[in-house]
Amino acid sequence: MLASLADCVAQRAFGYPLSLRPTLQAISHPEAMADTAAAPPQNIFEGPNSDYEKLRRDFVEGGVATDTLDTYEYYFRLTLNGAAPPAVIERAPWLLEIVDAAGEIAVPPEGARVAILNDVKDKFAGQMLGAQAIVFVLPMVRLEDSGWIATLARLIDRLAQSKDKKLRRLVVAFSQYERLFIGLGPSAFTYACDPAVALYVVRKSLRAAPWMDALRALDLAGVSIRFTVTSAYGFVKRFQNPNIDPHQPGEQRFRRPGLEGARGYSEYWRPFLTAEPILYAALDLDSAFTFSYRQIDARRDDG
């Protein structure tokens, strides 16, 4: 999700009004630590956030997942160039530090071959407690059958009970949204773009979620909770089908034969909604695909 974030914003593949016109620029750590949001002159010997560029390149070339041995920090400048509520605009631009961590650090799988170092766990715990917003990215699977879901519930419960947290917003993002539309061909994008379809998918995914009570405790404590769907693989430009090539083994994206690298994918690839969780986390501004408890809870809607 993070690797496709900047491309998702650039291609306007999000659920916010196009009049918002956000831009997201990867910046270096010194820029992020500067006293002002104005960009200082670039050091010609230092690429702009080369770690993030490597993350994007790894994703395009082979879908490499985040290393599970540590947490990684990436920095961005978020700017709104169009219409937005005055309370949001007056806070622009935003300097964002995004901490990327594999789920194995917080929820280690049973029988894991690589033991996570205690200092990494301590660092990650401090980063979570110090974060103003947290995004949990979960695969769109049957949560009640997942071995790690009980551990996730305990983690959220501990977070809710902590008095040291600075948390204001929490987003639960379900990844691999495009897989639900594999058999729909050129109609896939039409259905995926319907917020009512996304809301139905999220409701169904949360029907038996054992950690909803812990999230409600955070909600009652004043933390804004949102649910959304994301698709890093996205959809194919012009053809509108999910961006998975049925003629290639595994999950390979479409690209022009014989054309290597990022250009080979950019001609076809449109990531979908991977910007949604980050934009909400930064702006506290809902889109058509960020759903609150009131929208998720069918009983409350019916009542």
The pTM is what? 0.84
Q: What is the 3-state secondary structure (H, E, C) of 191-232?
A: HHCCHHHHHHHHHHHHCCCCCHHHHHHHHHCCCEEEEEECEE
pLDDT of 122 higher than 60 = yes
Integer Cα distance of 296 and 204 in angstroms = 9
Integer Cα distance of 275 and 296 in angstroms = 21
300 DSSP β-pair partners: none
The whole-number pLDDT of residue 282 equals: 92
The whole-number pLDDT of residue 35 equals: 46
Q: What is the DSSP code (8-state) at residue 187?
A: G
pLDDT in tens, 76-103: 999 988 887 887 777 778 899 999 988 7
Mean pLDDT across the stretch 229-244? 86
What residue ranges in 144-187 does DSSP mark as E strands? 169-175
**Omega of the bond prior to 242 within 30 degrees of 0, cis?**
no
In what order do the strands lie in the sheet containing 169-175?
133-139, 169-175, 224-229
Q: Among 141-145, 257-261, 272-276, whose mean pLDDT is lowest? A: 257-261
User: The tokens of 222 are what?
Assistant: 């004043």
What's the mean pLDDT when you consider all of the chain? 81
Mean pLDDT across the stretch 265-286? 89
Mean pLDDT across the stretch 58-71? 74
The whole-number pLDDT of residue 251 equals: 65
Report whether 15 contacts 286 (CB < 8 A).
no
The whole-number pLDDT of residue 171 equals: 95
Mean pLDDT across the stretch 96-125? 75
More confident residue, 157 or 60: 157
Mean pLDDT across the stretch 127-138? 91
The whole-number pLDDT of residue 120 equals: 83
Mean pLDDT across the stretch 69-82? 88
Integer Cα distance of 92 and 236 in angstroms = 33
Query: What is the residue range of 56's domain?
Result: 5-302
Mean pLDDT across the stretch 250-274? 71
The whole-number pLDDT of residue 303 equals: 39
Percentage of residues in the chain having pLDDT higher than 90: 29
Burial 6-23 (b: 16+ CB within 10 A, else e): bbbbebebbbbeeebebe
Helix, strand, or coil (residue 270): strand
pLDDT of 197 higher than 50 = yes
pLDDT of 70 higher than 90 = no
User: The tokens of 257 are what?
Assistant: 């034969």
Q: How confident is the model at residue 298 (pLDDT cuts 50, 70, 90)?
A: low
CB atoms within 10 A of CB 58: 14
The whole-number pLDDT of residue 186 equals: 87
Q: Among 46-55, 123-132, 222-231, 246-255, whose mean pLDDT is lowest? A: 246-255
Q: How confident is the model at residue 256 (pLDDT cuts 50, 70, 90)?
A: low
Report whether 117 contacts 153 (CB < 8 A).
no
pLDDT of 302 higher than 80 = no
- Domain tally, the chain: 1
CB atoms within 10 A of CB 188: 21
